[in-house]
Amino acid sequence: MYLLLIVIMIASAAVQWRLRSKFKQYGQEGLRSNLTGREVAAKMLRDNGIYDVQIISTDGSLTDHYDPTNKTVNLSADVYNERSVAAAAVAAHECGHAVQHAQAYSFLKFRSAMVPALSAVSKFMPFILLAGVLMIRTSLIPLGVGIALFALTTLFSFITLPVEFDASRRALAWMDSNGVVTAQEHEGAKDALWWAAMTYVVAALSSLATLLYYVSIFMSGSRRN
């Protein structure tokens, strides 16, 4: 189990490095359509009949996200202002989430419904797990509760996967059909979004491996008790 966790940690670092490398590469490739990330986002929203979503420039790098609570597409400065393949891909991907929201995409609804509970759970779950491990010789209940709560975060990680892959699918299909990217630019955008999706895959696997680690501790404690 320890070996699996180490392997996943190494894979996560490798994927993050590869992601940044890809976005740097495609961030230097200009778009023939000459649209900025903000313009790509605005056009995709309009083309999907969405007029109640704001496009906002946010600080940081690779901090782009769609916030369904206030209906905002938040784009990092490198995406908001740039006219590159990477900027177009990210902007369209985040607008893909806005389209999911407008069309009541089931996985997005499920994930959004889980957020309030997970926000509350995340504050005290680590302490419950720690207490469970320390108290395992006297009671399995705290660790069992901690595992149940951690299972929710693992479920959230896996529910996120179809949400992210679907947003990328929508983004690529829209960019193709509306002439935002050429065939060559499409391949670059697809590559960049694939590596972005891999970060979520690794995160989900890491969460699952950690969950199984705590389950193994629980099973070991139950045999001793």
> In Å, how far from its chain's centre is CA 225?
40
Report the distance separating Cα 93 and Cα 99, nearest Å: 10
Task: Beginning with the edge strand found earlier in the chain, give each strand of the sheet holding 54-58 in spatial order.
Answer: 54-58, 72-76, 65-67
Q: Tell me whether residue 120 is exposed, middle or buried, using C-beta atoms within 10 angstroms of its C-beta: 0 to 12, 13 to 18, 19 or more.
A: exposed
Q: What is the DSSP letter of 18?
A: H
Question: Residues 159, 93: contact at Cβ < 8 Å?
Answer: no
Q: Taking the CA atoms of the chain, what radius of gyration do you get in angstroms?
A: 20
- Indicate if 94 belongs to the active site: yes
Report the distance separating Cα 22 and Cα 143, nearest Å: 41
| Residue tagged active-site, from 39, 82, 94, 164 | 94
Active site residues: 94
